[in-house]
């Protein structure tokens, strides 16, 4: 028998052998055996020895620069916007999926950050525009209080005219009789923008530190938890939601592609290898609370769909033949068969 003919027969036999293992009832055991063998072999080596950290850095950097702007991610964002806008098919109370005790713990942790917030707010005093905004805000609040008091005073005979006289007199004293009270107060407070910002910051911090605030927020949560989970479509249009999400998506694209973010991702990868590089894959799975048996079972469950589609299209046999054929066409095999 010619060597080429014998090699072709051996190739056909080997392809049939692998096809039998990857189809029918043999597929599950075959996939499980391959997965177990790979995990057993890799389980004796540390992650740092199996994966080159430089290659991982390049992959992460390239992914951050290209994946967020890809068509697939854009489609996923659109789907997410649609789901959020439409809401669940069946309404249910938010409290059914969010535990109140955990909300209470989160609230306590956030309120405990008030010193951090106070330091952050203090930095706002350096902004003239923030000072102007705070001055106008406080001016409007004070003016609103005085207007409310005047409305009450008007109901008392003689008191309303007395209060109006006092306000008018105060206006003339500062040479601004033609200005309304709100403008007067706003201009006066505006001269001390830094003071206004600091005073407003103090009001915010003291409010957060007030024990009543915690109870009030929990009461608000109790009310919200009873409300059915619904889509945003009841409050805003799809175009309005898309506008906000698209702007955030564009911001993420430009930010993640920046060189400084790439360097930050390198630092994260380096920290990962410092922390987990000495682990074996099996130990790393345990750290992630992933059971090896569950992982293998998932692969066995996914394999029939993938392999079945390849088999129906004829690609499975073609791929196997392409991988094995060069071996039987090699001079070494020809010499052995000859």
292-334 pLDDT tens trace: 999 999 999 999 999 999 999 999 999 999 999 999 889 998 8
54 domain-assigned: no
Give residue 140's pLDDT: 76
Whether the pLDDT of residue 131 is over 90: the answer is no
pLDDT the model gives residue 170: 47
For residue 64, name the pLDDT band (cuts at 50, 70, 90): very high
Helices 181-190, 193-209: crossing angle, 10 deg rounding: 100
- Of the listed ranges 93-97, 126-130, 246-250, 301-305, the least confidently predicted one is 126-130
CA atoms within 13 A on the CB side of 283: 12
259 inside domain: no
Q: Are residues 208 and 309 both part of a single domain?
A: no
The pLDDT of residue 185 is above 50 = no
Please identify, among 189, 214, 229, the residue that sits at the C-terminal boundary of a domain: 229
pLDDT exceeds 50 at position 173: no
- 229, 245, 272 - which closes a domain: 229
Same-domain check for residues 107 and 217 = yes
Q: Are residues 27 and 115 in the same domain?
A: no
* SS3 at position 228: strand
What integer best gives the mean pLDDT of the chain? Answer: 84
Number of domains the chain contains: 2
Q: What is the pLDDT of residue 190?
A: 47
Statement: residue 82 has pLDDT above 70: yes
| Inter-residue contact 244 to 236 (CB < 8 Å) | no
Q: What is the pLDDT of residue 31?
A: 93
pLDDT computed for residue 179 by the predictor: 44
Whether residue 10 lies inside any domain: the answer is yes
pLDDT for 187-207, tens place per residue? 544 456 777 788 888 888 999
Long-range contacts of range 249-257, CB-CB < 8 Å, 24 or more positions apart? Answer: 249/68, 249/74, 249/77, 252/68, 253/68, 253/69, 256/64, 256/65, 256/68, 257/64, 257/65, 257/68, 257/69
Report residue 164's pLDDT band, with 50, 70 and 90 as the boundaries. low
User: Which one has a higher pLDDT value, 165 or 64?
Assistant: 64
Q: Pick from 169, 201, 229: which residue ends a domain?
A: 229
Determine the pLDDT at residue 307.
92
Predicted confidence at residue 177, as pLDDT, reads 39
Answer yes or no: is 57 within a domain. no
Distance CA 160, CA 44 (A): 89
Same domain, 223 and 158: yes
**328 lies in which domain range?**
1-45+280-338
120 assigned to some structural domain: yes
Which of the four pLDDT bands, split at 50, 70 and 90, describes residue 150?
low
């Amino acid at each position: 028998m010619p060597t080429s003919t014998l090699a072709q027969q051996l190739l056909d036999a080997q392809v049939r052998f692998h096809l039998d293992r990857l189809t029918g009832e043999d597929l599950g055991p075959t996939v499980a055996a391959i997965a177990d063998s790979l995990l057993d072999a890799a389980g004796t080596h540390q992650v740092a020895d199996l994966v080159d950290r430089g290659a991982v850095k390049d992959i992460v950097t390239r992914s951050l620069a290209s994946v967020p702007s890809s068509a697939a991610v854009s489609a996923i964002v659109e789907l997410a916007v649609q789901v959020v806008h439409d809401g669940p098919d069946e309404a249910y109370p938010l409290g059914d999926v969010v535990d109140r005790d955990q909300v209470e713990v989160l609230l306590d942790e956030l309120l405990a950050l008030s010193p951090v917030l106070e330091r952050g707010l203090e930095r706002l005093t350096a902004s003239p525009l923030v000072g102007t905004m705070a001055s106008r805000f406080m001016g409007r609040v004070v003016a609103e209080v005085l207007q409310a008091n005047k409305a009450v005073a008007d109901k008392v005979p003689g008191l309303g005219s007395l209060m109006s006289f006092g306000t008018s007199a105060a206006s003339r004293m500062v040479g601004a009789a033609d200005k309304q009270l709100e403008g007067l107060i706003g201009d006066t407070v505006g001269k001390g923008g830094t003071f206004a910002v600091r005073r407003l910051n103090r009001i915010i911090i003291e409010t957060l530190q007030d024990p009543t605030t915690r109870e009030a927020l929990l009461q608000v949560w109790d009310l919200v938890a009873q409300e059915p989970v619904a889509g945003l479509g009841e409050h805003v249009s799809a175009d309005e939601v898309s506008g906000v999400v698209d702007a955030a998506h564009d911001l993420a694209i430009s930010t993640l592609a920046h060189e400084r973010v790439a360097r930050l991702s390198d630092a994260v990868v380096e920290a990962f290898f410092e922390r987990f590089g000495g682990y074996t894959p099996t130990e790393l799975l345990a750290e992630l609370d992933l059971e090896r048996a569950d992982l293998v079972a998932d692969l066995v469950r996914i394999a029939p769909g993938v392999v079945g589609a390849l088999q129906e299209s004829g690609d499975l046999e073609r791929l196997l033949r392409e991988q094995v054929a060069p071996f039987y066409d090699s001079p070494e095999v020809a010499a052995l068969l000859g």
